[in-house]
Amino acid sequence: MQLLDVSLAATAEHLALEEAVLLAAEQGLGPSELLHLWEPKELVVVVGRGSRVAQEVNLEYCCQANISVYRRCSGGAAVVGGPGCLMYGVILDRRRHVELAQIDSVHCYVLQKMAASLSRLGTKVQIAGTSDLVIDSSPRVDDDSQMLKFSGNSLRIRKDQVLYHGTILYDFPPPVIANCLKSPPRQPDYRNQRDHASFVSNFPATIACLRETILQGWDIGQTVSDFPRDAVEKLVSEKYGTTAWNFRH
């Protein structure tokens, strides 16, 4: 596994980058397995590939607060990111891992690795719902009403490659999420109808510790900075930077 270490200015560029390296890997034109870590420089909302923006996002608030809305290439519902929210993306070669044959097993493979890595920082991490990472604030083992989500995740599968990416809240104000997002159209049972502010929490770690443990968990062997720049620019200009894509129905 290689670490793709690049500095890009805009959220649209990072979203485009992950699709570009996924497609390059699928075509045999780039590394088949990469880890990408980044953090939005300002508050943003990122909706899923199939999201209906008006149903998931409080557009009036976002407009007033000058918070941009983007659409990613993977599924799932809307998330809010910004300073204090680490974004990660992993490109994996399905031919190297029998665990990546089915969608459910892809979730298990990546989230088990992330949960094990983060748990080494002293707070037990569990997998909940379809693709959430949570910490448990309850002393009762059977009380899932106190599971607090700090990471939401989604994926995009190609024939030979998969992009798996998600968020890790570590120093982010949960009330901002409640302001930006409406109640999600689909909720896991463990949420128990809680609103965003009482359902979401930060993972207790610094950004430096998060990065170090994630790099160790994925056994990073090399850091690279080369990426398909022309493909990223094209995807930004034709897709991720356009209203037609970000607000499509």
Q: Which of 80-94, 115-129, 135-149, 207-221 has the lowest mean pLDDT?
A: 135-149
pTM: 0.93
Beta bridge partners of 92: 162
Question: Where do the domains of the chain lie, and which CATH numbers do they carry?
Answer: 2-246 (3.30.930.10)
How many Cβ atoms sit within 10 Å of the Cβ of residue 30? Answer: 21
Q: Of 241, 227, 46, nearest to 153 (Cα)? A: 46
What band does 197 get if pLDDT is binned at 50, 70 and 90? Answer: confident
- 3-state SS, 66-98, equals CCEEEECCCCCCCEEECCCEEEEEEEEECCCCH
Contacts made by residues 63-67, CB under 8 angstroms, sequence distance 24+: 65/179, 65/180, 67/42, 67/43, 67/180
Sheet holding 79-81, edge to edge: 68-71, 44-47, 79-81
Each residue's pLDDT tens digit, 28-62 = 999 999 999 999 999 999 999 999 999 999 999 99
Half-sphere CA count of 190, side-chain side, radius 13 A: 20
**Helices of type H across 2-81:** 11-26, 53-56, 59-64
